[in-house]
A and B are shown apart, each in its own frame.
Chain A
Amino acid sequence: MAKKKEKVVDSGLDTIKSMVHQHSEFFDTLVELIPARFYLPDETERKWFPGLSKAQKARAKRKTTENLKKARRDRLDPEKSALTTLDLLKQKIEKEKKKLSNVVAEDDDESEEEADHKKAKSDSVTYEELRQRLHRKIDELKGGRGGSERPRSHEKRKKIVPNKRKREKTVEEEEDKAKLDVEEAAKDLTYGYVKIDDDEEHGKGSKKRRLSKSRELERALKLEAAKKDPEKGEVIAKKHSWQAATSRAAGIKVHDDPKLLKQSIHKEKKRQEKNAEKWKERVEGQQKVRVEKQQKRSGNIAERIEQNKQRKIAKREKKLMRPGFEGRKEGVINDGK
């Protein structure tokens, strides 16, 4: 029984091995079909062609063409060994194994990472260095024009994401600070004006107490005299100027300049005089017109009376102006004794 079992087990193992072998062969044929260029990652250093000068570019171009030619010749050369994808893959795996063993032997993981880092850095130094140089030049050119602090377009693209640990700490600190600031600020806030019905804004509702201009002039002169006063003049002057500025800023008109007041009084007087003159002229004109009209009217009436009379006479005359008749009856011949 054991033998049978062993046989079965052995044959089982054998079948598994053969199956694995078959599968592996299948995959190997597949891999060989793919050219190595596409299957294996390219580990060569890439030169950053746009950053090189003309001469360097020409040199690099020549090198690449030479490399291409050499590779083509090697590929078609029957004597040289043709490395298939599979062989290259095997080489790669061996290399990695060696590296791992080295690493384990030295017991130093970081050296490899550093090595990789340095490699990456040396790759990107060309990029970074050139880019920084460009930005420095741009900033120099733009440095002369001051003022705006706008985020420059190239600076915008550099979104340096800080380490997560650092970010969390700073965010917490900022939050605490912000809370304190908010509390402080909330104590001292002033808003724009809000009009409520019952209240009235300072001094604007006092239109009734408007002094006449002459009174205001007196007040202004008094104020000026007070300012010139040697002892308290300074204080009064300062206080008044601040008060005036505050009320002017609030929209209240402050009349404190005697010169301007005099001017406006003068103007008002002139205006009144002019108005009085205009009124007089108007009244005179009206009178004149009235008188004229009256005269014309009486003239017309008189004319009409005259005309009426004449018409009546003419009518009577017409009655007696018969043809063959001499007119009015002059009486009998015998009557006039």
Chain B
Amino acid sequence: MGRFKNNKKGRVNVKPIAKNNQANVDHVTGDKIPKSFVFSRTKLPGSVKQLQMDLRKLMLPYTALSLKEKKRNTLRDFLNVSGPMGVTHFLMLKKTASALSLRVARTPQGPTLTFKIHQYSLASDIAQSQTRPRCPPDLFKNPPLIVLSGFGTQELHLKLATIMFQNIFPAIDINTVKLSTCQRLVLLNYNKDTKLIDFRHYSIRLQPVGVSRKLRNFVQTHKAPDLRNLQDVSDFITKAGYGSESEGDEEAATVTLSSDLGRVNKGSTKSAVKLQEIGPRMTMQLVRVEEGLCSGGIIFSEDGNVDGKNKQDGDEEDDAAGEEESEEGEEGSEEDMDEDAED
């Protein structure tokens, strides 16, 4: 594709530097592959910038990793670019004095979910807190799997959130998927009491069950084992090793593989699924759902079902585009004030 010139008012366009030759349509399933942009319209402080980078890595490979945005770029510019490139979702971070919020929106005129982030931890902090952080080289070459828990099917806004998240990541085709491509997992857990959503990002690792640790280590890393205290090599193999300390708890977490995965896990034997946390950790709360892309009527707001007071008619929408945003901004600040009062 050539360069996109935004003809109106000579505004400078966004130049996404992602030179990906990706297909828009998945060759296997025939569906459109969802792609995303992670960006922010305001200036972000240092740690939030890192959070943005972590989110970008999370969404790999179907996102623009080195997306450069300028101050002059508005949402309109991003929208114009997203059409030809086939970008379907926008993830926007916004830091104001009161709160840090993440907006997940579907591009052409899709709904916008606004989440308020109460707490977050960066990927680098999590790696520092672990004794053996793990990052195999092709970890980000495939999209992650997603698991949602506790959302239920009753409440509309939660259902919308599940559908939204399920569609951000491409679907997997059972017939053709390779086990080695499922390496990451995104977990969203909804807590009914506090109405907070926990966001976690793990890397998946399979380990054969029932093999002593010494043997497993030896087969995986070809380091010569220490045979100082043994009389005979047969002792090394037959000596009852401890296995894993937490093996008893993980009875439920074992699967029977259908095919071989790597050198260690053989097909039709039991393997344990181990999750190790990578990536950012967030605690967020669904605050607002808007009909349009950061515009349109509010169909769900705050915690209680305070419904769209600000729903405009279709005729007024185009005239009062600016007014609407300002009105919404006022409403937003009012809501923020309410939240602060509650806190």
A-side interface residues toward B, CB under 8 Å?
145, 147-151, 156, 175, 182, 185, 188-197, 204, 224, 237-238, 241-242, 244-246, 248-251, 253, 257-259
Q: Measured between alpha carbons, how far is A175 from B248 in the docked complex, in Å?
A: 12
Q: Measured between alpha carbons, how far is A175 from B162 in the docked complex, in Å?
A: 29
Using known A-B contacts A151-B129, A238-B299, determine if residue A195 contacts B163 with beta carbons closer than 8 Å: no
Please name 18 further chain A to chain B contacts, defined as beta carbons within 8 Å, in addition to the given A149-B121, A189-B148, A244-B291, sorted by A numbering: A148-B120, A148-B122, A148-B125, A151-B128, A185-B150, A188-B152, A189-B149, A190-B149, A192-B145, A192-B146, A192-B147, A193-B167, A194-B173, A194-B174, A241-B299, A249-B110, A249-B163, A257-B314
Decide: B314 and A259 in contact? CB cutoff 8 A: yes
Q: Measured between alpha carbons, how far is A188 from B32 in the docked complex, in Å?
A: 28
Q: Measured between alpha carbons, how far is A241 from B128 in the docked complex, in Å?
A: 45
- Interchain CB contact (< 8 A) of A192 among B152, B169, B289: B169
**Closest residue of A by beta carbon distance from B296:** A241
- Interchain CB contact (< 8 A) of B147 among A150, A191, A253, A257: A191
Name the distance in Å between A235's Cβ and chain B's nearest Cβ.
12
Decide: B160 and A195 in contact? CB cutoff 8 A: no
Q: Which of B98-146 contact A (CB under 8 A)?
A: 100, 106, 108-111, 119-122, 125, 128-129, 145-146
B72-105 vs A: 1/0 string, CB under 8 Å? Answer: 0000000000000000100000000000100000
In the complex, chain A residues whose CB is within 8 Å of the CB of B149? 185, 188-190
- Interchain CB contact (< 8 A) of B172 among A151, A194, A238, A250: A194
Number of A-B contacts (CB under 8 A): 117
Q: Measured between alpha carbons, how far is A248 from B48 in the docked complex, in Å?
A: 29
Decide: A150 and B169 in contact? CB cutoff 8 A: no
Decide: B167 and A190 in contact? CB cutoff 8 A: no
Q: Measured between alpha carbons, how far is A246 from B160 in the docked complex, in Å?
A: 6
Q: What are the nearest 9 A-B pairs in CB distance? A: A193-B171, A245-B111, A150-B125, A192-B146, A190-B148, A248-B110, A195-B173, A249-B164, A148-B47
The contact sample of 7 A-B pairs, CB cut-off 8 A, is: A147-B120, A150-B125, A185-B150, A245-B110, A245-B291, A246-B160, A251-B88
**Closest residue of A by beta carbon distance from B95:** A147
- Is B159 in contact with chain A by the CB < 8 A criterion? yes
**Closest residue of A by beta carbon distance from B109:** A248
- Is B307 in contact with chain A by the CB < 8 A criterion? yes
Decide: A190 and B120 in contact? CB cutoff 8 A: no
Q: Measured between alpha carbons, how far is A191 from B169 in the docked complex, in Å?
A: 11
Decide: B121 and A249 in contact? CB cutoff 8 A: no
Decide: A147 and B166 in contact? CB cutoff 8 A: no
**Closest residue of A by beta carbon distance from B112:** A245
In the complex, chain A residues whose CB is within 8 Å of the CB of B199? none
Decide: B100 and A147 in contact? CB cutoff 8 A: yes
- Is B343 in contact with chain A by the CB < 8 A criterion? no
Decide: A197 and B175 in contact? CB cutoff 8 A: yes
In the complex, chain B residues whose CB is within 8 Å of the CB of A190? 147-149, 151, 162, 166
Using known A-B contacts A190-B147, A224-B314, A249-B106, determine if residue A147 contacts B47 with beta carbons closer than 8 Å: yes
- Is B225 in contact with chain A by the CB < 8 A criterion? no
- Is B279 in contact with chain A by the CB < 8 A criterion? no
Name the distance in Å between B283's Cβ and chain A's nearest Cβ.
9
Name the distance in Å between B128's Cβ and chain A's nearest Cβ.
8
In the complex, chain A residues whose CB is within 8 Å of the CB of B171? 192-195
Decide: B147 and A259 in contact? CB cutoff 8 A: no
In the complex, chain A residues whose CB is within 8 Å of the CB of B193? none
**Closest residue of B by beta carbon distance from A196:** B174
Decide: A251 and B167 in contact? CB cutoff 8 A: yes
Name the distance in Å between A65's Cβ and chain B's nearest Cβ.
46
Decide: B289 and A149 in contact? CB cutoff 8 A: no
- Is B156 in contact with chain A by the CB < 8 A criterion? yes
Q: Measured between alpha carbons, how far is A150 from B54 in the docked complex, in Å?
A: 15
**Closest residue of A by beta carbon distance from B307:** A238
**Closest residue of A by beta carbon distance from B146:** A192
Name the distance in Å between B134's Cβ and chain A's nearest Cβ.
19
**Closest residue of A by beta carbon distance from B89:** A249
In the complex, chain A residues whose CB is within 8 Å of the CB of B252? 182
- Is B297 in contact with chain A by the CB < 8 A criterion? yes
Name the distance in Å between B222's Cβ and chain A's nearest Cβ.
34
- Is B213 in contact with chain A by the CB < 8 A criterion? no
Q: Which of B282-318 contact A (CB under 8 A)?
A: 289, 291, 297, 299, 307-308, 311, 314-315, 317-318
Using known A-B contacts A190-B166, A248-B111, determine if residue A259 contacts B318 with beta carbons closer than 8 Å: yes
Q: Measured between alpha carbons, how far is A233 from B167 in the docked complex, in Å?
A: 31
In the complex, chain A residues whose CB is within 8 Å of the CB of B217? none
In the complex, chain B residues whose CB is within 8 Å of the CB of A257? 109, 314
Name the distance in Å between B277's Cβ and chain A's nearest Cβ.
14
Name the distance in Å between B58's Cβ and chain A's nearest Cβ.
14
Decide: A189 and B147 in contact? CB cutoff 8 A: yes
Decide: B151 and A149 in contact? CB cutoff 8 A: no
- Is B256 in contact with chain A by the CB < 8 A criterion? no
Decide: B110 and A151 in contact? CB cutoff 8 A: no
- Interchain CB contact (< 8 A) of A245 among B88, B120, B147, B289: B289
In the complex, chain A residues whose CB is within 8 Å of the CB of B24? none
In the complex, chain B residues whose CB is within 8 Å of the CB of A246? 156, 159-160, 163
Decide: B121 and A148 in contact? CB cutoff 8 A: yes
Name the distance in Å between B139's Cβ and chain A's nearest Cβ.
18
Q: Measured between alpha carbons, how far is A151 from B145 in the docked complex, in Å?
A: 28
In the complex, chain A residues whose CB is within 8 Å of the CB of B262? none
